[in-house]
């Protein structure tokens, strides 16, 4: 394979030949758009650190879905901002909560859209942690019961897939059992399996109003230094019944995505999180990066690393770029 016999530039000569040898593809069918549902009516409350995104009340979610569907985006991931928060996040399983009502509203008008819901307590607790606090830390096993109730209420409202993001041990088995007991044995679980304790969630916590009021999430989310542990997390979630496993964040953890895809060969999702989105937005606004190219290169790199699907705040903009490219 030595130069001058072998010349790699031969296959880079023009767009046609480059496309012919392209190894990875990115399609709108790979994308999942996160949406923030708030209580009330007629509300569009822009999220400052996430340009183009807003908390939307259920009626406005319905309107937003028109564009989402017209762009061909097949799936959304819902987060809720409830009216009341308390120490045990008691509104998480409210059948009339923002997420539950948004699910029904979306499925009513667009039954073909796949509605995925984030299952976690941090949006519903007054202290912002992902479960019940005991002795200054999140108590694992009592939190499991609440997660099961929350997941069940989403599925009863019509959710197609539930996605637990709390990082409690044993939650996938607990939720699987709860769903099966009620006859929802057909509803898949997308597990946030390797979820790191990351600085890149900053803008999301503004969006979901879920910043922990004390301490941090290091006693339940993963240490960014660990890769072997991510494999154990995923192995356990698969054993417990996860149908899709997720790595989060995406770009600083491409190595983890690749290892998990190679090791397990399972449907693998990557979450291109809020901070990854906002960094590109900020740099593009300053004129330091070409927005669309940086966005598409990031998404392609996540696919190349091995993700089958990407949860991304860029979903609509990426869909528009792909549409133009034809």
Name the residues annotated as catalytic. Answer: 195, 248
> Is the bond leading into 258 cis (omega within 30 degrees of zero)?
no
Q: Tally DSSP H helices, then E strands, for the chain.
A: 11, 12
* Helix, strand or coil, per DSSP, at residue 120: coil
Measured from the CB atom, the residue of 110 and 205 that comes closer to ligand PBG is: 205
Question: How many of the chain's residues bind ligand PBG (CB under 6 A)?
Answer: 11
Stretch that binds ligand PBG, among 90-98, 107-115, 117-125, 294-302 (CB under 6 A): 117-125
Check binding of 130 to ligand PBG (CB under 6 A): yes
The piece of 67-75, 200-208, 256-264, 295-303 that touches ligand PBG (CB under 6 A) is 200-208
Q: Does 120 bind ligand PBG (CB under 6 A)?
A: yes
Check binding of 273 to ligand PBG (CB under 6 A). Answer: yes
Closer by beta carbon to ligand PBG, 16 or else 213: 213
Contact with ligand PBG (CB under 6 A): which of 36, 124, 196, 204? 204
Residue number, 201 or 314, with CB nearest to ligand PBG:
201
Count of CA atoms in the C-beta half-sphere (13 A) of 125: 23
How far is Cα 148 from Cα 321, in angstroms, rounded to an integer?
39
Residue choice 45, 62, 107, 205 for contact with ligand PBG (CB under 6 A): 205
- The minimum distance between CB 274 and ligand PBG, in angstroms, equals 3
Burial of 291 (0-12, 13-18, 19+ CB in 10 A): middle
We find the least distance from the C-beta atom of residue 201 to ligand PBG, in angstroms, to be 4
Residues linked to residue 86 through DSSP beta bridges, in sequence order: 125
DSSP letters for 59-89: HHHHHHHHHHHHTT--EEEEEEE-S--BTT-
Q: Which one among 60, 117, 153, 274 touches ligand PBG, defined by CB under 6 A?
A: 274
Bridge-based pairing state of the strands 137-138 and 161-164: unpaired
Pairing between β-strand 114-119 and β-strand 133-134 as defined by DSSP bridges: unpaired
Structure tokens at 261: 């895809």
**Residues 214-243 vs ligand PBG: string with x where CB under 6 A?**
---x--------------------------
Cβ distance to ligand PBG smaller for residue 35 or 58? 35
The per-residue DSSP string of 134-168 comes to ETTEE-HHHHHHHHHHHHHHHHHHT-SEEEE-S--
The two structure tokens encoding residue 39: 């209580």
Q: Can you give the binding site for ligand PBG, defined by CB under 6 A?
A: 118, 120, 122, 130, 165, 201, 204-205, 217, 273-274
């Amino acid at each position: 394979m030595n130069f001058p016999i072998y010349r790699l530039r031969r296959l880079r000569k023009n767009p046609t030949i480059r496309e012919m040898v392209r190894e990875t593809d990115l399609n709108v069918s790979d994308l999942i758009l996160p949406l923030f549902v708030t209580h009330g009516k007629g509300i569009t409350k822009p999220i400052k650190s996430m340009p183009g995104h807003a908390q939307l009340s259920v009626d406005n979610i319905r309107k937003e879905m028109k564009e989402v569907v017209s762009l061909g985006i097949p799936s959304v991931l819902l987060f809720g901002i409830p009216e009341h928060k308390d120490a045990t996040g008691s509104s998480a399983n409210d059948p009339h909560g923002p997420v539950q009502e948004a699910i029904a509203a979306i499925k009513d008008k667009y039954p073909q859209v796949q509605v995925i819901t984030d299952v976690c307590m941090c949006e519903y607790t007054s202290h912002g942690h992902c479960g019940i606090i005991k002795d200054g830390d999140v108590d694992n096993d009592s939190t499991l019961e609440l997660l099961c109730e929350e997941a069940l209420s989403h599925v009863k409202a019509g959710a197609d897939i539930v996605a637990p993001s709390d990082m409690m041990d044993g939650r996938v088995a607990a939720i699987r059992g709860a769903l099966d007991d009620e006859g929802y044995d057909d509803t898949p679980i997308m597990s946030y399996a390797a979820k790191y304790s990351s600085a890149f969630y900053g803008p999301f916590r503004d969006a979901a109003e879920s910043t922990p009021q004390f301490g941090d999430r290091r006693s339940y989310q993963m240490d960014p230094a660990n890769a072997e542990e991510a494999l154990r997390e995923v192995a356990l979630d698969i054993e417990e019944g996860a149908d899709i496993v997720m790595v989060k964040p995406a770009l600083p953890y491409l190595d983890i995505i690749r290892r998990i895809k190679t090791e397990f060969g399972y449907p693998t999702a990557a979450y291109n999180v809020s901070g990854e989105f906002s960094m590109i937005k900020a740099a593009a606004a300053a004129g330091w990066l070409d927005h669309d190219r940086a966005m598409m290169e990031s998404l392609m790199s996540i696919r190349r690393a091995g993700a089958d699907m990407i949860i991304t705040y860029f979903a609509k903009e990426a869909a528009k770029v792909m549409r133009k490219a034809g």
